[in-house]
Structure 1
């Protein structure tokens, strides 16, 4: 191990020894200067081809097979080889140990940067953010992925690839409406999952026998009591409801729905914390790289290479630029975390009017609190300052589809800042939210159709909604009605049981 003041590397070729030495130094800085609490790290070196494989499977280290992953792989491979897209320098898995994939093509400076960013920044966020703590199981996800992959492979052997693929198609169409937002998932090992799977099969048979014990007919429908409503309360988790209550769905298909649902639940917090997660990881790597330089562990040239990469990642094109694609989550998240530190150490009069913590010398405590207790929407509402709005040139527009022009609804004054912060938080929340479609009733005593209702006011894509309803009908086994406010859509079951 190098002494302080001795460079960890003098040229830009990475070796496993250099990576081990850099990781050890970064760990010391992360603990001593940033007080980061992380899972144990597991670093894995992969090629560009392996990175494309990881892209296709949403970055998970193992996944069940499905045609959509191969399609995505083919599309991204073509784009990469034509120079239309680049690859991430790393991927990181919310697991214990935390797995970080590093690209073989990276220089040693880039390996240092991504170890700080992923293996310590993202890692600490995964372990400590309350949203991840509540909704994911870093201890059990690898075991569960192994269980799911093995179970679906077994189903393909027993029932055929095409039949299994049809079930997964339907589950994927619904997986954004497969989230329990009010119930914490249970943590089970692979062995426990297999035992629970057998118990579920027995329970479902008894449960469904009780619910659907009577063949529907006109007399029963007329005599059914009004209070015998099923379900008694609207249900937001569509896959869970179908998994537990579909009248004729085979047990193995229910288990596939459960596997897709559990993985969707695991990925849910990532969509709710993109700005914070990337912003915090950038904040960590920025501090670490400067600390390594200050201690003499990396050269001036290495720091300049870092600046080039960091600036590219956090670059925000202007709204009228051809490169503009919305607000860069790296830019916004990093700017807010840096600003929290500034507000603590060098507050202005404006900062003191906006933030109670302004002037708190313990900036690290404020950074940790922000990282732990919020998700993107509330993070922006709590911490977006007028200075960051000015620095990023943020403003609000109202777009009337019937009008001939846009209207600027917020500019840089006190009232405008507050409106702009609220408007941005709403936009972030809406972009991460799936259509609010809930199960409101099942016609148990009649034709057994499933009645869904759209609970929000956002418009639906009619063609996509119809295709999704067809998937629901195939799983449910009977007709499905969707009350979308201004229209009622109906999907007919192709082969409704008599």
Structure 2
């Protein structure tokens, strides 16, 4: 596709190479929506990487992230080659001070991403629900929030954004974006109207499944359904629809943050697969692109080596697996041993959880020297990182653990009282750890500002002792 007119094209040859790379990719079996490329200055690219979108709702937290990213960049710990937003069309941004070989590689890399996002079932499901024009949609949301600031003031709007963005990871992708509300009434359960039961009846009613059996033998009627009728993990949705005094513009902010979280979830949940797929295809396309000058190809492959090295950042040792490196080698092996058709099917059906568990085996882990690390105190009291073990199951789970529940603690709505009070429960058994109580208390404060009734959360501290946090 042609490059966007908003930025001067410093790598003129890339305009010529891009349609040829697209044609080559399609001839190799890739299938993608059109890609709109735009070359932008590094400052714009950094803003896009930090905000997550070219234009997004204003909030102070993005400024904090920008400073962190800027410092990392200046210290040589971070370099952003490209940012791509899946959609129809896809929107891709390249940095204008990249070399021609680097931007050629990035163009091929983006085509791999475009194929993945169109054909992966998780991406496709989220795209169909959110829509295929996230950049434009986010800009419209930002415009509405600017209007709310003009009408209600910076302080009020920021308080709502504080709460919504503090909960942006607390969604439930098992339900669609446009899900119905809870039923107001429910059928009375058998025995609810009879009060006390005989010993036999009481024991019988405690058998699995009996307590949930509906009274269908006449006269049962219905009762008011509790809110929520079951543990509710989508905190953004619940607050948007059930907060007692939430105004329309406040609900709009919560639902806007939720919708963007749905959009970004596949990027998070398929990072190893997606980055590995794009890295495999940029290497393959460059290798087979006989229209590229030899020196450009060699320089681009050097950039490829930098992208898929074992560790992210500039350090030679890291505790974080580089998803480009791991994903690239997993796809390379799968295609070599099982063929492209199998790879295309896996690309469509799996996410990182199934991909890593099913396809990262002992041989590949040994070849890539992947280990699970832990910490211990040295003789002088200093903290040291040591190899914990080479168990493949432990290794897989160590890689996947940060991905569970969007990387956020599992917190659910347990009960909404008749007075409007809200009870939250932290599912610490699933998380396997307690919460940072200071941070949890701050988030609870944000929630109470918009809930406007007492809010409690039951959790545990770092030693597993139950703690009840409260905000009135």
TM-score category, normalised to shorter length: 0.7 to 0.9
Aligned pair partner of 1:488 in 446, 450, 467:
467
**Alpha-carbon distance, 1:368 to partner:** 0.7
Q: Decide which of 412, 416, 434 is 1:438's aligned counterpart.
A: 412
SS in 1 for 2:169: helix
TM-score by length of 1: 0.76
- How does 1:127-276 map onto structure 2 within 5 Å? 127-136=118-127, 137-177=130-170, 179-186=171-178, 229-276=226-273
Task: Identify if the C-alpha distance between structure 1 residues 397 and 19 changes in structure 2 by more than 3 Å, giving closer, same or farther.
Answer: closer
Residue 18 of structure 2 is matched in structure 1 by 23
In structure 2, C-alpha distance between the alignment counterparts of 1:460 and 1:488, rounded to whole Å: 10
Report how far residue 397 of structure 1 moved: 5.2
Alignment of 1:262-411 (within 5 A): 262-292=259-289, 295=290, 297-317=291-311, 323-344=317-338, 363-396=339-372, 410-411=389-390
- Are the equivalent residues in 1 in contact too, given 2:46–2:80 (CA < 8 A)? no
Report the Cα offset of residue 271 of structure 1.
1.0
With 483-492 and 36-45 compared, the bigger mean Cα shift is at: 483-492
Alpha-carbon RMSD across the aligned residues, in angstroms, is 3.2
Q: Distance in 2 between matches of 1:366 and 1:388?
A: 18
Closer, same or farther in 2 for the Cα pair 1:407/1:290, shift >3 Å? Answer: closer
Secondary structure at the counterpart of residue 407 of structure 2: coil
Match of 1:77 in 2: 70
Indicate the SS of the match to 1:484. strand
Asked whether the 8 Å contact 1:395–1:408 carries over to 2, the reply is yes
CA drift at 1:467: 0.6
Query: 2:60, 2:288 → 1: CA distance?
Result: 46
Q: In structure 2, how many angstroms separate the alpha carbons of the residues matched to 1:45 and 1:65?
A: 24
Cα distance change, pair 55–83 in 1 and its aligned pair in 2 (3 A): same
Equivalence for 1:452? 424
Q: Is the Cα–Cα contact under 8 Å of residues 384 and 421 in structure 1 kept in the other structure?
A: no
Structure 2 partner of 1:45: 39
Gaps of 5+ in 2: 1-7, 186-221
Q: Equivalents in 1 of 2:42, 2:400: separation in Å?
A: 37
The residue number in structure 2 matching 1:353 is none
Is residue 89–residue 102 contact of structure 1 (8 Å, CA) maintained in 2?
Answer: yes
Deviations 1:429-473 (A, max 9, x none): 4484321100011111xx432111112332211111111111111
Q: Aligned equivalents of 1:146 and 1:299: distance in 2?
A: 40
TM-score (normalizing by structure 2): 0.80
Please list the CA deviations of residues 200-225 of structure 1 after superposition, one character each: whole Å capped at 9, or x if unmatched.
9xxx9xx9xx99xxxxxxxxxxxxx9
Pair 1:121 & 2:112 matched: yes
Q: What per-residue deviation string (whole Å, max 9, x for no partner) do you get for residues 48-91 of structure 1?
A: 12112212311x122122222233334433554x4444431111
Render the CA deviation track for 1:157-176: whole Å, top value 9, x for unaligned.
10111211111011111111
Residues 92-119 of structure 1 deviation map (CA, whole Å, 9 limit, x = unaligned): 111211011111111211121000001x
Q: How many residues align?
A: 416
* Aligned-residue offset at 1:230: 2.0
Question: How far apart in 1 are the matches of 2:374 and 2:71?
Answer: 38
CA contact (8 A) 1:381 1:425 kept: no
Q: Name 2:212's counterpart in structure 1.
A: none
Provide Cα deviations, 1:171-210, integer angstroms capped at 9, x if missing partner. 1111111x232123359xxxxxxxxxxxx9xxx9xx9xx9
| Deviation string, structure 1 residues 384-435 (Cα, Å, up to 9, x no partner) | 133321211123456799xx99996644xxxx44x35543465354484321
Residue 147 of structure 1: how far off its partner (Å): 2.7
| 1:176 match: secondary structure | coil
**Cα distance change on mapping 1:451 and 1:129 into 2, 3 Å:** same
